[in-house]
């Protein structure tokens, strides 16, 4: 067993070994293009998104944008009160802006909806390199505008939202909050739930050598490739803080919970982001999971640490988005 795998939590290692083995078998020694890479990544994760809580209802909606049509999905837990618009989590999937979607993250979305007892709205934003920055960000803002106009009809209180995401999705969550802040529309966002975010194209040599090798769940070279696909060949020189929020002015953002593992090539930039948020006066909480690599929450079927991360996130949501009291019950 290689050193990178030996350093992982044993439960999470089961997930990592299986996904990597399945992916290698499906690639068959080839270097496929983006569409096939997406299909392989999704297929390799099929068994890991099975099971979990059942939803009371799931609704799919198609929206238009200047970058093309995109979808969003609203998942309603069975425990949700049906007679009062509810706060909701707007969740943005990870995958380096280039991969994954609503189906790869289906179980995680259901777990959050069930544990937080509120709807989760997931946005199927356009993927790079076909849809480079700022396509995904623009689509998230369009989805929030749609929610402002139509949320009540879907049982959602659009003035009581949290933005969340993992990896590239966490990046988009903060970038969206920054754009809403500049537009004077941030009041409707009450909390940020940020799982192992990608905050800057700049990776230290130490991170690359010790946590981002070819044997790790996410390598430094893969992260470079994702950033170039998202921002173009000059990714490291891009100064736009909405693309790399670690370099943004972070004042006046909603309370933020950041979760990451200490075996993640992005661990040091998550620690830096937490420091920057706190330094900007943003109420900030963190949790670092020993032995956890990038994407460890995907191991929720077998990992106590992944389940703890989901539970902490759900508790954070309930704390900042109080659920409505059902009609007929005392407040």
**Predicted confidence (pLDDT) per residue in 261-277, tens digit:** 999 999 999 999 999 99
CA 65 to each of CA 142, 143, 210: distance values in angstroms, whole numbers, following the listed order: 7, 9, 41
Q: What's the average model confidence in pLDDT over 205-221? A: 95
Q: Which domains does the chain have, with CATH numbers?
A: 3-320 (3.40.50.1820)
Number of C-beta neighbours around residue 165 at 10 A:
30
* The model's pTM: 0.96
Confidence of residue 326 (pLDDT cuts 50, 70, 90): low
Q: 267-275: long-range contacts (C-beta < 8 A, 24 or more apart)?
A: 267/207, 267/211, 268/204, 268/206, 268/207, 269/197, 269/198, 269/199, 269/200, 269/202, 269/203, 269/207, 270/196, 270/197, 270/199, 272/199, 272/246, 273/194, 273/197, 273/199, 273/245, 273/246
Mean of pLDDT over the chain? 94
Write out pLDDT tens, residues 65-123: 999 999 999 999 998 766 789 999 999 999 999 999 999 999 999 999 999 999 999 99
319, 188 Cβ separation under 8 angstroms:
no
């Amino acid at each position: 067993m290689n050193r990178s795998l030996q350093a992982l939590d044993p439960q999470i290692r089961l997930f990592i070994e299986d996904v990597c083995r399945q992916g290698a078998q499906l690639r068959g020694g080839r270097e496929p293009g983006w569409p096939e890479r997406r299909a392989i990544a999704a297929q390799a994760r099929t068994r890991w998104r099975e099971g979990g809580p059942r939803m009371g209802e799931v609704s799919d909606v198609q929206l238009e944008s200047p970058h093309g049509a995109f979808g969003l999905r609203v998942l309603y837990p069975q425990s949700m009160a049906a007679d009062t618009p509810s706060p909701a989590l707007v969740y943005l999937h990870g995958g380096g802006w280039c991969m994954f979607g609503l189906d790869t993250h289906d179980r995680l979305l259901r777990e959050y909806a069930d544990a937080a007892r509120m709807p989760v709205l997931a946005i199927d934003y356009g993927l790079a390199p076909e849809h480079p920055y700022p396509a995904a960000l623009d689509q998230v803002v369009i989805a929030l505008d749609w929610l402002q106009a139509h949320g009540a009809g879907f049982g959602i209180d659009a003035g009581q939202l949290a933005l969340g995401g993992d990896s590239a999705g966490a990046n988009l969550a903060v970038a969206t909050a920054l754009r809403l802040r500049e537009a004077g529309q941030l009041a409707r966002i009450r909390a940020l739930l940020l799982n192992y975010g990608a905050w800057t194209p700049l990776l230290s040599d130490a991170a690359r050598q010790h946590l981002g090798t070819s044997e790790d769940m996410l390598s430094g070279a893969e992260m470079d490739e994702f950033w170039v696909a998202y921002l173009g060949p000059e990714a490291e020189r891009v100064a736009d803080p909405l693309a790399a929020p670690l370099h943004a002015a972070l004042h006046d953002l909603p309370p933020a919970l950041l979760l990451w593992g200490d075996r993640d090539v992005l661990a040091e930039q998550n620690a830096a982001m937490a420091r920057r948020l706190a330094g900007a006066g943003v109420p900030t909480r963190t949790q670092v999971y020993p032995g956890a690599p990038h994407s460890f929450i995907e191991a929720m079927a077998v990992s106590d640490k992944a389940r703890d991360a989901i539970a902490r996130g759900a508790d954070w949501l309930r704390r900042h988005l109080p659920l409505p009291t059902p009609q007929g019950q005392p407040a």
